[in-house]
Amino acid sequence: MSNVRKVDAALAAGLALLLSPMVRALPPEPALSASVFVISEIMYNPAAEVASPDGQWFEVYNPLDESQSLAGVVVEIISSDGNTGSSYQFGEVGVPIVEPHGFFVLGANKALALNGGIPVDYAYGVGVSLPKSGAAVRILAGGLLIDEVLFGPESGLVVPQGVSLNLEPEGMDPDANDSPGHWCGSVVKVDDSPSQTLGTPGLVGHPCDTDGDGYDESSGDCDDAEPKISPDAQEKCNGIDDNCNG
């Protein structure tokens, strides 16, 4: 080895020795949040006999094969003018766990006599309200936006009083539930509810008749985005299964 190479090797070794403590001293990069929750149902306009916000609630779904904690998770309600109307952050102790592929209902009040008979799993208090004029429900974890759903006239997701916004099974995904086509008003009466509330809190929602032809996927509609295709349609020689008979 030449003298030049020896010097270069020595310099490289010395430089590595000087830098190694600095590298070891660098703090680790903060881990990104691994939380995945899907907003799957929203009751923003309770039945007439139920006061707001006591009767307001929304549901989240855990699409993972493992339990997820709500520790540190933030719920934000963003009004239609873009301002944060209200928010709530879960603590780190005694926090709820959402079971794998389970549904979890968050509401203002757990008292059945006040919330319309809704089985709320966790009450965030009446300080959080869902504006009947429309808003966005956001879930954040570790400073990251996990899911967001807009409801109200601007988004097209509007339901009558006492009816929840229902996310159909095909939309159980943080991206898929962005599409208004996966949402519809619930047609199922809440069990044991003294009010005439329609919704499926804590349970999987029902399919939506997206194209308005009177059929959804569960009743035989093989293309719920096209109203001309349904079990009642007349079959034509066009290479399309018009009447969904296969």
pLDDT one-digit tens code per residue, 113-129: 999 999 999 999 999 99
Cβ count near 117 (within 10 Å): 18
Coil, strand or helix: which one is 178?
helix
Among 218, 138, 155, CA closest to 165: 155
Confidence grade of residue 18 (pLDDT, cut at 50, 70, 90): very low
H-run or E-run covering 89? strand 84-89
- The per-residue pLDDT for range 225-236, each reduced to its tens digit, is 566 666 766 666
- The per-residue pLDDT for range 136-186, each reduced to its tens digit, is 999 999 999 999 999 999 899 999 999 999 999 999 999 999 999 999 999
- The per-residue pLDDT for range 182-204, each reduced to its tens digit, is 999 999 999 878 888 999 999 99
| CB burial readout 42-52, b (16+ within 10 A) else e | bbbbbbeebeb
Cβ count near 227 (within 10 Å): 16
Question: What pLDDT does 17 receive?
Answer: 44
| CB burial readout 163-201, b (16+ within 10 A) else e | bbbbbbebbbbbeebeebebbbbbeeebeebebebbbbb
Cα separation, 151 vs 177, in Å, equals 12
Is the model more confident about 220 or about 76?
Answer: 76
H-run or E-run covering 207? none
Confidence grade of residue 83 (pLDDT, cut at 50, 70, 90): confident
Question: What pLDDT does 116 receive?
Answer: 94
Question: What pLDDT does 242 receive?
Answer: 63
Query: Which has the minimum average pLDDT: 6-10, 107-111, 195-199, 232-236?
Result: 6-10
Average pLDDT, the chain: 83
Taking residues 53-76, report their average pLDDT. Answer: 96
Confidence grade of residue 53 (pLDDT, cut at 50, 70, 90): very high
Question: What pLDDT does 190 receive?
Answer: 94
Tell me the whole-structure pTM to 2 decimals. 0.77
Q: Is the pLDDT of residue 102 over 80?
A: yes
Question: What pLDDT does 15 receive?
Answer: 47
CA 28 to each of CA 24, 31, 51: distance values in angstroms, whole numbers, following the listed order = 10, 9, 49
Helices (H), 158-239: none
Taking residues 99-104, report their average pLDDT. Answer: 97
Amino acid occupying residue 15: L
Q: Is the pLDDT of residue 76 over 90?
A: yes
Cα 14 off chain centre by? 54
Cα separation, 225 vs 209, in Å, equals 9
